[in-house]
Structure 1
Amino acid sequence: MSTPSPALFFNTVNAYQRSAAIKAAVELNVFTAISQGIESSQSLAQKCQTSERGMRMLCDYLVIIGFMTKQAEGYRLTSDSAMFLDRQSKFYVGDAIEFLLSPMITNGFNDLTAAVLKGGTAISSEGTLSPEHPVWVQFAKAMSPMMANPAQLIAQLVNENKIEPLKVLDISASHGLFGIAVAQHNPNAEIFGVDWASVLEVAKENARIQGVASRYHTIAGSAFEVDYGNDYDLVLLPNFLHHFDVATCEQLLRKIKTALAVEGKVIVFDFIPNSDRITPPDAAAFSLVMLATTPNGDAYTFAEYESMFSNAGFSHSQLHSLPTTQQQVIVAYK
């Protein structure tokens, strides 16, 4: 039997310090400054235009929590930091802090007690679901690097080496990467992205950069209110249903079903915990984010998604893992 210890309590209470440290390091470009080799606190302070004392303390802390290593002559990046936190890396994700640590998200945790008492966010009547809230433009720009790989994996799952004509509806398109990836893998795919007009500007720019702008179309407005059109072979639902309660999800799925072609299907990409709701940890923990930031959202299990799709009139659903990501994919068939 292990000896009882208050270490977990104190580590958890002080966890905000980790967020503050990584935010400061990203904002000061510390990781990028170190990327060319070992750097001393003095040279880093000069490169990043900070005090030497402040840089030394920040870097020592980042060593302690695992983002760097320290040698006699200075600091060096870990392999993870070199890949994901050096701005020169094509896998750079540091800008995600602009959304993940934005007040719109963190404020939801300032009075989590109130959210637990209420059973939903305490920050406003709508939380992060406010129509055309600027946080979603921020999200689209900041989270693009994190979604690029999952988008490509889902496109591979969708196309399965086929290049048949494909009409695709991307609900809550955001950065547009999921629909864009399908278009990249299939030259006969036409993509229709649904989101707020301001957010769709980000998606259109990404489509232009990726060379599929001529096949990327937009439908501006609320996914619950706009006219989708019909005869879609595929509807993409990435990271969307978790914002709503079951009844609202089923309402949306019924609307989507009417827009599908006879053999159409829906792909959900989301955090999907096991039935115990505590594993896998990253997917299961996402439910707390929904409690803090939405009125009625949740991290739904596959059984709950199966029930939603069934109640909306879909024939059957399948769960697929997506290796290297914390999320999974559900394919539901009309």
Structure 2
Amino acid sequence: MVRLLAGRGVPFLGRPKTAVREGGPPLTLYEWLDDEPELWPTAQRGFRAAATLLVDPVADELDLPGGATTLLDLGGGHGFYAAELCERNPGLSATVFDNPAALDVAEAEARERGLTDRLTTRGGDYRTDDIGGGYDAVLLFNVLHGHDPAEVRALFERVHGALAPGGQIVVLDQFEGGGRMNVGRAAVALVSLTYRATLGRGVHDADAVAGWLRAAGFEDVERTGLRRDPGSELLQATRA
């Protein structure tokens, strides 16, 4: 991804000091991609490649409600996680909701896996547009680090309203202080700096996120660390 962006006059590359001092870059990664829409698929293929490292342990740990038939992958972009879950759960259908320009890779994923009847896409702004309702599960994978605490809390409230009673929210992200060893914690700190330089945001504290979930009306919050990516955790909670 960095190689792709290098040499294109991207405002956030090479300027982490400025981002830290001023709170963010002059233009975020996603704002820049909106100005260069032909690069959205390339960016999503890069995000998809990273997801291949975690898809198996995440899918193994994910506890979908019994008999779940509808899944919303919010900000899911490449759709790789949603496609994998559809293949593992034959009765499941999924909607990947993201920026319209970010969905080409998810649509190709559905075609390549023969899932076009069960994996669909929907373009929009998940912060403000209608995201539908009555879902059995909603994924928020690598979304939280792009938002400040107030935005995360508002997003949890939106997801709560979109879930059926007893539905499951599943959060995957890196979290402050995560990692069992110093090298893992250092890696998370470096990732957070990268997010600050590219998005103007950073990783959140997992305990704080769990509290925001409860405040939004979720219960039974469970946290699972992922050995393949020290510092990343899976948080699952149920709509009461």
The TM tier, using the shorter chain, reads 0.7 to 0.9
1:281 Cα deviation from its structure 2 partner: 1.9
Query: Aligned residue for 1:219?
Result: 122
SS in 1 for 2:203: coil
Which of residues 30, 41, 47 is equivalent to 1:143? 47
Which of residues 88, 107, 116 is equivalent to 2:20? 116
CA displacement 1:94-127 (0-9 Å, x = unmatched): xx5555x546897424333322221222x22xx1
Which of residues 31, 52, 69 is equivalent to 1:130? 31
Query: Aligned residue for 1:251?
Result: 154
* 1:213–1:152 distance in 2 versus 1, CA, 3 Å: farther
- For residues 132 and 46 of structure 2, the distance between their equivalents in structure 1, rounded to whole angstroms, comes to 30
Query: Aligned residue for 2:238?
Result: 333
| Corresponding residue pairs, total | 232
1:235 counterpart = 2:148: no
Q: Larger relative contact order (C-alpha < 8 A, sep ≥ 6)?
A: 2
Look up the equivalent residue of 1:116 and give its one-letter code. Answer: V
Superposed CA RMSD in Å reads 2.6
* 1:103–1:244 distance in 2 versus 1, CA, 3 Å: farther
Check whether the contact 2:136–2:163 (CA below 8 A) recurs between aligned residues: yes
- For residues 182 and 202 of structure 1, the distance between their equivalents in structure 2, rounded to whole angstroms, comes to 16
| Structure 1 residues not aligned, in runs of 5+ | 1-95
The TM-score normalised by the length of structure 2 is 0.85
Query: Aligned residue for 1:286?
Result: 191
1:205 counterpart = 2:108: yes
- For residues 275 and 141 of structure 1, the distance between their equivalents in structure 2, rounded to whole angstroms, comes to 26
1:158 counterpart = 2:59: no
SS in 1 for 2:114: coil
SS in 2 for 1:143: helix
- For residues 115 and 9 of structure 2, the distance between their equivalents in structure 1, rounded to whole angstroms, comes to 32
* Larger proportion of helix: 1
Identical pairs, percent: 23
Query: Aligned residue for 2:208?
Result: 304
SS in 1 for 2:86: helix
Which of residues 269, 276, 295 is equivalent to 2:172? 269
- For residues 113 and 313 of structure 1, the distance between their equivalents in structure 2, rounded to whole angstroms, comes to 38
Look up the equivalent residue of 2:31 and give its one-letter code. Answer: S
1:195 counterpart = 2:98: yes
SS in 1 for 2:211: helix
* 1:131–1:218 distance in 2 versus 1, CA, 3 Å: farther
Query: Aligned residue for 1:181?
Result: 84
Check whether the contact 1:152–1:178 (CA below 8 A) recurs between aligned residues: no
Q: Which has the larger radius of gyration?
A: 1
- For residues 249 and 103 of structure 1, the distance between their equivalents in structure 2, rounded to whole angstroms, comes to 33
SS in 2 for 1:280: helix
- For residues 202 and 109 of structure 1, the distance between their equivalents in structure 2, rounded to whole angstroms, comes to 25
Look up the equivalent residue of 1:130 and give its one-letter code. Answer: E
